Structure 1
Amino acid sequence: MTKQVAFRMKLLPGHEEEYEKRHREIWPELVQLLKDNGVVDYSIYLDKATSSLFAVQTISGDSSSQDLGSTEIVQKWWAYMADIMETHPDNSPVSVPLKEVFTL
């Protein structure tokens, strides 16, 4: 069975193009790690007016990308992205879970 999880992150203003570029060039080993850990589909949407990023993942199992922070590749990705996003001191993105309120 699959389920969806959603969360919000914040991009630093003026870094929209760089964020998109980095995700077009996402590291294959990171993609494989996500797939190996049950992330079936992963989409991120940008609200340019607020620099908010909205992520939606379809996952099989009980874990999502939010549970992979202890892996070396995720920590390297966080460090790579830290200059263009709001982050915690460990470089992890500030991420706010979103409550599902409607599904069709």
Structure 2
Amino acid sequence: MKINPMQDEMQNIALEMRSLGRTETSQEVNQDFGTLLSSAIQKVNGLQKTSSDLAVRFDRGDRSLSLSDVMIASNKSSVAFEATVQTRNKLVEAYKELMNMPV
């Protein structure tokens, strides 16, 4: 069960880069990071939509869903969103540190 898809994705990319053993230009790193961040946000969005859809279906009386299915989807969505917020906070903190460095 993947609770934190963003972290898994980042670890997979890091392993991929190590296995390639090549150095990249800053432009390539920026593109890779942007792509990684975009796909992670899309995955979190997908988890939130799925959770919302399951909750609506359960509220309407769909007998094929159990309360535990809805709660698991909700918790996955919540954990993924919290990870996204924490990642954003770390990025903002790093940006502020860089901007405060003397040149």
Q: Same fold (TM over 0.5)?
A: no
Larger RCO (CA within 8 A; separation ≥ 6): 1
Greater strand share, structure number: 1
- The TM-score, its normalising length taken from structure 1, stands at 0.26
Larger Rg: 2
